[in-house]
Amino acid sequence: MRTFTDYLWFTTAERQQFVRITDEVSDIVARSGVHDGMALVSAMHITSGVFVNDWEDGLIHDFQVWLETLAPAGRPYRHHQTGEDNADAHLKRTIMGHQVLLPVTGGALDLGPWEQVFYAEFDGCRRKRVVVKVMGAGA
């Protein structure tokens, strides 16, 4: 079995922002030398996540509105009593998920026709990273 690890780094301009990372993950898979296996893509911060869905502006907007409805910013969350002000970001990350496991076939990501990989930032404007670990049989 072959393994390969690389990292993606992000500093978003907005506190909450979704970034399409399909191409970057695909590049890592191509460099890995794995022909048949899996790619784990995992946010390494507790206020950011990774998810797979359609890359359509209306849907991305709908996710942001939906998340704000479920976990609105500025509420008097108990977490804020510790001196933090980002409880909503923790909740949003839990809703969207922190990692995905993607199939690798023929040395490439094996995604459905509309599937794209996204980094989801919920407490941004500072440097954060995502680990991409590719595992499987070599070519």
Other CB atoms closer than 10 Å to residue 7's CB: what's the count?
Answer: 11
pLDDT at position 139 is 76
Tokens 């079995």, located at residue: 1
At 131, which CATH number? 2.60.120.460
Q: Output the furthest CA–CA distance in the chain (Å, rounded).
A: 54
| DSSP summary character for residue 23 | H
Based on the structure, what is the number of domains in the chain?
1
The pTM of this model reads 0.95
Domain span at residue 30 reads 2-74+83-138
Instruction: Express each pLDDT in 1-56 by its tens digit.
Output: 999 999 999 999 999 999 999 999 999 999 999 999 999 999 999 999 999 999 99
d(C-alpha 107, C-alpha 96), whole Å: 27
